[in-house]
């Protein structure tokens, strides 16, 4: 069984762990950087990216997160987590900065803070009920990035090798297909380590 960590400094942690377990993997809340050694993949949850960044610095997580990425282990950023993964942010310095995308925060307008949309996500689902909460979107994606979904012409889900990111909150619905897709990425990456 693969072990998937959920960065548990702030944000929607418990729902991600439930979703991971529904998919038959072990979900572990990561509160200390040493725990990253125990897991095969990591989910960066939604919440507030600036608050999360403050806690990453306060609890000395940044080097361990970058090392985790450098080891080729899969990382899945959802909403604020997508912002943490991006190499470029509009109007802001990047955070972990590992996925070749440019992300803009709060990009669906103030008047519609949150909404739900049925999305077609390539290789995942034809009708995925996506919950957007003050969501970011991907403005630009590098050549190696595969675009998995768009909403209103904006990129809202993408993959670049070991990195998966989405603008919405997949853990807030009972459909676990996107989490299951990530767990397959984790299994494949783990299997490669033993070849
Ligand atoms: N707007 C938040 C940010 O900029 C993200 C919102 C979310 O994760 N639901 O970090």
pLDDT at 7: 98
**Residue nearest atom 1 of ligand 1, based on CA coordinates:** 134
Note the pLDDT tens digit of each residue in 63-112.
999 999 999 999 999 999 999 999 999 999 999 999 999 999 998 876 56
Nearest in space to 9 (alpha carbons), one of 78, 68, 55, 63: 55
Best residue among 16, 56, 131, 135 to mutate for probing ligand 1's pocket (most ligand atoms within 8 Å of CB) is: 135
Domain range spanning residue 21?
Answer: 3-193
Which atom of ligand 1 is least distant from the CA of 106? Answer: 1
CA 62 to chain centroid, in Å, comes to: 16
Which residue is it, tokens 């070991």? 162
Number of structural domains found in the chain:
1
Active site residues: 79, 169, 171
Q: What is the pLDDT of residues 176-191, one digit of tens each?
A: 999 999 999 999 999 9
Distance of alpha carbon 114 from alpha carbon 101, whole angstroms? 23
**pLDDT number for residue 195:** 63
Round to whole Å and give the CA distance between 88 and 5.
24
- Please write the tens of the pLDDT for every residue from 2-54: 999 999 999 999 999 999 999 999 999 999 999 999 999 999 999 999 999 99
d(CA 142, CA 148): 14
Determine if the pTM surpasses 0.95.
Answer: yes
Tokens of residue 66, six digits: 């970058």
Instruction: Specify whether the CB–CB gap between 136 and 82 falls below 8 A.
Output: yes
Residue whose tokens read 């603008």: 167
Question: pLDDT tens for residues 120-159?
Answer: 999 999 999 999 999 999 999 999 999 999 999 999 999 9
CATH code at 146? 3.40.50.880
What percentage of the chain's residues is helix, strand, coil (to nearest 5)? 30, 35, 35
What DSSP string describes 123-176? TTEEEEEEEEES--EEEEE-TTPEEEEEETTEEEEEEETTEEEESS-GGGSS--
């Amino acid at each position: 069984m693969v072990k998937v960590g959920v960065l548990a400094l702030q944000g929607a942690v418990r729902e991600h762990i439930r979703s991971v377990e529904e998919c038959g993997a072990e979900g572990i809340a990561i509160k200390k950087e040493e725990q990253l050694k125990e897991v095969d993949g990591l989910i960066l949850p939604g919440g507030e990216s600036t608050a999360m960044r403050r806690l990453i610095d306060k609890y000395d997580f940044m080097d361990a997160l970058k090392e985790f990425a450098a080891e080729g282990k899969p990382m899945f950023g959802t909403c604020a987590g997508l912002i943490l993964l991006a190499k470029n942010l509009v109007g802001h310095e990047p955070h972990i900065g590992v996925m070749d995308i440019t992300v803009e925060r709060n990009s669906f307008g103030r008047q519609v803070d949150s909404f739900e949309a049925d999305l077609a996500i390539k290789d995942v689902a034809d009708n995925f009920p996506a919950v957007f909460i003050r969501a970011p979107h991907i403005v630009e994606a590098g050549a190696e990035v595969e675009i998995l979904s768009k909403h209103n012409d904006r990129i809202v889900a993408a993959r670049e090798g070991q990195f998966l990111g989405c603008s919405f909150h997949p853990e807030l619905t009972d459909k676990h297909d996107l989490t299951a897709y990530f767990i397959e990425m984790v299994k494949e990456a783990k299997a490669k380590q033993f070849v």
